[in-house]
Amino acid sequence: MWSDLQQFKADFFKALSHPLRIRILELLSEGEKSVHEIQKNLTSEGSAVSQQLSVLRSKNIVIGRKEGKNVLYSLRDPSTVDLLNVARELFNNHLIDTLSMYEELEDQKNSTKKKGL
């Protein structure tokens, strides 16, 4: 019924469906980081960060590289940065549309008040 590509996309977007995972990816778009560095930047508990990294790792979105006692995480595919940027663009476009609708409603409300005076 579903192609392998459609299933991959669905699984990939499910893996992105948590705000902390998105924030981790945004941090990793700057370069590889240890769990400690990620925690420090997010002011989040280690267990939460580790749990979300585990999800991202299981979907092959991030990879880990052992360096001494630390594991350094990075994006598996640099195209992930492009995807995050497109998502930001979509959000901004949606926000602009929403603000435009709000302004139109305010203008209508104000013109209705003026007519009633």
One-letter amino acid at 42 equals: L
> What is the model's pLDDT at position 46?
75
> What is the model's pLDDT at position 48?
92
> What is the model's pLDDT at position 64?
96
Kindly report the pTM of this predicted structure: 0.76
E strand or H helix at 9: helix 4-15
> What is the model's pLDDT at position 90?
86
**Segments making up each domain of the chain, as ranges:** 1-76, 78-117
> What is the model's pLDDT at position 6?
92
Average pLDDT per block of 10 residues along the chain, 117 residues long:
86 92 96 94 86 95 95 96 90 79 79 69
In sequence order, what are the beta bridge partners of 73?
33, 64
> At residue 30, what are phi and psi to the nearest 5 degrees?
-85, -15
Question: What CATH class has 1-76?
Answer: mainly alpha
